Amino acid sequence: MYSEKTPIIQHAETPKIKLNDGRKIPVIGFGTWKIPIEVAAGQVDQAIELGFSHIDTAQAYRNETEAGQAIRESGLSRDEIWVTTKWSGLDGKGPRQSAEESLEKLGLKYIDLLLIHHPRLANGDIPAAWAEFEKLQADGLVKSIGVSNFEIEDLKILLKDAKVKPVLNQILFHPYVYSSKAPLIEFLAENDIAFEAYSGLIPLTSRPGGPADKPVDAIANRLSIAPEQVLLAWVIAHSGIPITTSSKAERVKNYLQVPFIKLTKEDVASIDAAGKKGEEVGGAKWYASRFALGGLIGLSGVVAFRQVCGF
Ligand SMILES: NC(=O)c1ccc[n+]([C@@H]2O[C@H](COP(=O)([O-])OP(=O)(O)OC[C@H]3O[C@@H](n4cnc5c(N)ncnc54)[C@H](OP(=O)(O)O)[C@@H]3O)[C@@H](O)[C@H]2O)c1
């Protein structure tokens, strides 16, 4: 499974998905959340060196400078690498100030995709925040604009007045939230909005021993691949764009093979069914109860969502 022989993917080999603004995004991305500053440049450099052409960062991750260093020193031309960052509302900064600072830290002339990190950042006025995003796009600071952690109601509010549709919504998506996210996924598809899936490896990282292990391990054994590859292939089978990360070279190489792994309908259905079984604990309901608990013990909503969203 982890072998020095795992081939290295060339950047242009990663398949791309066409977004509703006509631009094409590589179907798997490498994220920088929780990577400490002192190793961030090295880990992003390793990911790009091994073939990643899609980097996902955020104002809140506080390592845009290091990610930018690795991107600039990669030797790739600007159009060979896709860079997403997010307006996270840090220090009360608005979208334009955040985008300008991101550009400076990344050392880039434009951002491929800028996301509203969470709907609560709009302080109850999603249309106004989105209008600022549309202006950033019109002014050429960003090529594509999108959202993250938006629910159906948030999207309906945004779409009512939007001149430009978000190209995608970056959301928590793994087997243990699969059934509760299904209406959102359907709404996105109906509106030609793609989705990116973060924390897709939760069945391995924070919930090992859950019901998804059995089908995931069985598929991994049958195809002689790693369980994390099965889970990321499951995301792609649901038309999602997985955003993942790793400090380990062999895992990074394995991730890049994922777009070429074909799961059967039965494989996908077996993980869906196991995910549903595990939804009661550790899935959406579990997160919802965490938020509720946050309210009860006096944490602000912002602090509670930051625990899940990475800042
Ligand atoms: N928009 C948002 O609100 C939001 C929220 C969270 C995340 N994100 C984005 O999504 C990215 C990925 O998030 P994530 O870290 O939660 O994703 P993930 O893909 O679920 O987890 C990645 C982690 O899994 C570990 N891992 C891989 N295979 C494993 C295995 N077999 N057993 C145990 N651990 C394993 C890796 O550790 P090793 O280093 O040991 O390989 C790595 O740290 C972030 O960096 C960020 O860019 C966005």
Ligand 1: centre distance to CA 156 (Å): 29
Alpha-carbon radius of gyration of the chain: 19
User: What value does the mean pLDDT take over residues 65-90?
Assistant: 97
User: Among residues of the chain, what percentage have pLDDT more than 70?
Assistant: 88
154/55 Cα distance (integer angstroms):
26
Tell me whether residue 73 is in a domain.
Answer: yes
The whole model's pTM is what? Answer: 0.93
For 128-174, the pLDDT digits (tens) are: 999 999 999 999 999 999 999 999 999 999 999 999 999 999 999 99
Report the pLDDT value the prediction gives residue 304, as an integer from 0 to 100.
Answer: 45
DSSP secondary structure letters along 78-99:
GGG-EEEEEE--GGG--HHHHH
Query: Which protein residue's CA is at the shortest distance from atom 16 of ligand 1?
Result: 199
Residue nearest to atom 32 of ligand 1 (CA): 204
**Are the C-beta atoms of 176 and 282 separated by less than 8 Å?**
yes
- CA–CA distances in Å: residue 157 to residues 59, 153, 260: 24, 6, 37
Helix axes 301-309, 284-296, angle to 10 degrees: 150
CA dihedral 172, 177, 180, 181 (to 10 degrees): 30
**Per-residue pLDDT tens digits for 186-238:** 999 999 999 999 999 999 999 999 999 999 999 999 999 999 999 999 999 99
pLDDT in tens, 79-129: 999 999 999 999 999 999 999 999 999 999 999 999 999 999 999 999 999
Query: Looking at the domain assignment, is residue 102 inside a domain?
Result: yes
> Cα(163) to centroid of ligand 1, in Å?
34
| Location of structure tokens 């006509």 | 22
Q: Is residue 242 part of a domain?
A: yes
The DSSP line for 8-54 is PPPGGGS-EEE-TTS-EEESSEEE-TT--HHHHHHHHHHHHHTT--E
Q: Which atom of ligand 1 is nearest to the CA of 57?
A: 47
Query: pLDDT at position 8, please?
Result: 77
Distance (Å) of CA 17 to CA 14, 195, 244 = 10, 11, 17
Give the nearest ligand 1 atom to 242 CA.
19
Domain boundaries, position 221: 11-309
Residue 187, CB-side half-sphere exposure with 13 Å CA sphere: 14
pLDDT of residue 4: 59
Q: How many domains does the chain divide into?
A: 1
Q: Of the candidates 301, 150, 173, 307, which has an alpha carbon nearest to the alpha carbon of residue 240? A: 173
Per-residue confidence (pLDDT) for residue 284, from 0 to 100? 52
Tell me the two tokens of residue 20: 């509703």
CA of 58 from ligand 1 middle (Å) equals: 15
Query: What spacing in Å lies between the alpha carbon of 138 and ligand 1's midpoint?
Result: 33
The residues carrying an active-site annotation are 61, 117
Overall average pLDDT of the 63-78 stretch: 97
Give, using CA atoms, the residue closest to atom 12 of ligand 1. 244
Mean pLDDT of 13-42: 97
Atom of ligand 1 nearest to the CA of 56: 47
Domain membership of residue 283 (yes or no) is: yes
| Sequence-separated (6 or more) residues with CB below 8 Å from residue 311 | 58, 60, 61, 88, 90, 117
Q: Which residues line ligand 1 (CB under 6 A)?
A: 31-33, 56, 117, 148-149, 170, 198-202, 204-205, 227-228, 243-248, 251, 309-310
CATH of the domain at 24: 3.20.20.100
Q: How many beta carbons lie within 10 A of that of residue 308, not counting itself? A: 15
pLDDT at 174: 98
Q: Which of 197, 216, 210, 203 is nearest to 263 (CA)?
A: 216
Residue nearest to ligand 1 atom 17, measured at CA: 199
Residue with CA closest to ligand 1 atom 28: 228
pLDDT band at 295 (very low <50, low <70, confident <90, very high): very low
Q: Which atom of ligand 1 is least distant from the CA of 86?
A: 1
pLDDT of residue 167: 98
Distance 199 CA to ligand 1 centre (A): 5
Degrees, nearest 5: CA angle 110-158-154: 110
Residue 19 has pLDDT above 70, yes or no: yes
The ligand 1 atom nearest the CA atom of 245: 22
Flag whether 179 is in a domain: yes
What gap in Å lies between CA 144 and CA 308, rounded to an integer?
A: 25
| Residue 89 in domain | yes
Q: What is the pLDDT of residue 12?
A: 79
**1 belongs to a structural domain:** no
Q: Tell me, in angstroms, the distance from the centre of ligand 1 to residue 183's CA.
A: 24
Q: What is the pLDDT of residue 285?
A: 53
pLDDT score at 298: 29
Residue 240 β-bridge partners: 195
3 state SS of 55 = strand
Q: Whose CA is nearest to atom 8 of ligand 1?
A: 198
In a 13 Å sphere around the CA of 29, the CA atoms on its Cβ side amount to 28
Average pLDDT, the chain: 91
Measured distance CA(229)–CA(292) in Å, rounded: 33
Confidence check: pLDDT of 57 > 90: yes
pLDDT at 11: 82
- Kindly tell me if the per-residue pLDDT of 308 is higher than 80: no
Residue 201 lies in a domain: yes
